[in-house]
Amino acid sequence: MKKQLTFGVIVGNRGFFPDHLAKEGREEILAVLEKAGIRAIALAPEQTKFGSVETHDDAIRCGDLFRAHRDEIDGIVVTLPNFGDERGIADSIRYSKLDVPVLVQATPDRRNDMKISDRRDSFCGKMSACNNLMQYGIRYSVTAKHTIQPSSQEFAKDLDWFAKVCRVTNGLKKLRIGAIGARPQAFNTVRYSEKLLERYGISVVTLDLSDIFGMVARMKDDEKDVKAKLDAIQAYVPTSGVPAAALMKMAKLGVAIERFMKDTHCTVSAVQCWTSLEENFGVVPCTVMSMMSDNLLPAACETDVMGTVSMHALALASQTPSALLDWNNNYGDDENKCVCFHCSNLPKHFFEKVSMYYQEIIAGTVGKDNTFGTCYGRVKAGDMTYVRFSTDDYHGRIRGYVGEGEFTSDPLETFGGAGVAKIPEMQKLLHRICEEGFEHHVAANFSHVAAPVYEAAIRYLGWEMYWHER
């Protein structure tokens, strides 16, 4: 994932408003971005008056500048230190030919400084700028408060939120997913439309499990990559009691998947985790998948492609690992709590304590010795954001829901990877999931990032979203 973001900056100016405000505003916003660790690309004072956009020529220069850096710019910040030229702002973005998120910020007037020499009118100018962006068909976001000082703590929160919106939007638009193996026969619930995903720039690269088995069969135990992966597995999770032969199979499986992902430029994956792998290869892929997810390269089980899209959105927003879970059990009589579970490939980041074990659910069918490799432990307590995206083939759309809650430390005795989740008005959410036919899988993350995920999905990707308890 890209660590440092780059924003194009447009400083709005209007001739019959005080010019010095544009100069001060440019300096302030650039200082704020630098403090936030964000690289800025903006017109220089040598190119236009104070490096602002006022005339049509200024807009052309700004568009040319942004276009020259189109592969670097993740988002655009429009700052209005005075009213700003509404057409110049919209033309700058149009001429840049960029399709990235846009944040519009307006600097407030000072109540005791409203004379002609210092009056901003940004309060009004922001409406005009947004009106023109709407006319031009340019999608944009606004700050939490209508006017906000760039150097304030409130704007720092806006900027952090917008950075997350940019990460999610751009990360999903350019996503390539490795779908390894067919959907398990019993799981109609994870069906999806590749064509709908492709419409939004998300590509799926498929690979048959037989190809994975073939890659593994050609590997030697003493290959450098295999030995390195075996060491990484044993360093990642305690493996006491796990047969050496099973660990070697996991190492080779991990190398095969990594090579496929690298060769096809895939970022995330969805894997047919049962039962062909267990019956024909003799391990579960859970630990290998857990390691990828823990490294911010989400891997979803049961070939749930939309599940890994959901996981990736949360990881992009929070820059921390995501997991795919089942909404699995009620928690006693508490209507706002439930048990979230998988058997499991959860990233190590999710656990209080984790160890490798065998997959108890299918061991009775395929034999215990063929099911080593699960990550077994209790999900730790902490903040939770959950999201689910789904393709709706009947209406030709992608839709989803998002919300926030928490994982609790409530007592729980079970197996696999499990935790207790507390969700406000959970019965309302469960009704929504069932009434609209969403899957039982949900992506989760230790964060509160529902707001940027929702903004990216509904505003910049055009997906239909429900934000629970907004």
**Ordered structural domains, the chain, with CATH:** 6-173 (3.40.50.10940), 176-467 (3.40.275.10)
The whole-angstrom separation of Cα 144 and Cα 153 is 12
Q: Which residue type occupies 388?
A: R
Band of residue 185 on the pLDDT scale cut at 50, 70, 90: confident
Residue 456: DSSP 8-state: I
pLDDT surpasses 90 at 7: yes
pLDDT number for residue 219: 98
- pLDDT, tens digit, 9 for 90 and up, residues 38-62: 999 999 999 999 999 999 999 999 9
What pLDDT is recorded for position 116?
67
Section 237-257 average pLDDT: 98
Tell which residue, 229, 253, 17, has the closest CA to residue 118: 17
Q: Helix (H, G, I), strand (E, B), or coil: what is residue 36?
A: coil
At residue 191, what are phi and psi to the nearest 5 degrees? -60, 150
pLDDT > 90 in the chain, percent: 94
Element (H, E) at 91: helix 86-96
Cβ contacts of residue 334 below 8 Å, gap of 6+?
A: none
Q: Facing residues of 379 across strands? A: 351
pLDDT value for 51: 97
* SS3 category, 108: coil
Evaluate the omega torsion of the peptide bond into residue 275 and state whether it is cis, within 30 degrees of 0: yes
Task: Give the pLDDT confidence of 359-380 residue by residue, as tens digits.
Answer: 999 999 999 999 999 999 999 9
Burial class (CB in 10 A: 0-12, 13-18, 19+), 397: middle
Is the model's pLDDT at 292 over the cut of 80?
yes
Q: What is the mean pLDDT of residues 340-344?
A: 96
Residue pair 467/403 in contact by the 8 Å Cβ criterion: yes
Residues 284-304, mean pLDDT to the nearest whole number: 98
pLDDT reported for residue 252: 98
Q: Which residues of 181-207 are buried (b: 16+ CB within 10 A; e: fewer)?
A: bebbeebeebebbeebbeeeebebbeb
Both ends of the chain: CA-CA distance in Å? 28
Provide mean pLDDT across the span 83-95: 96
In one letter, which amino acid is 9?
V
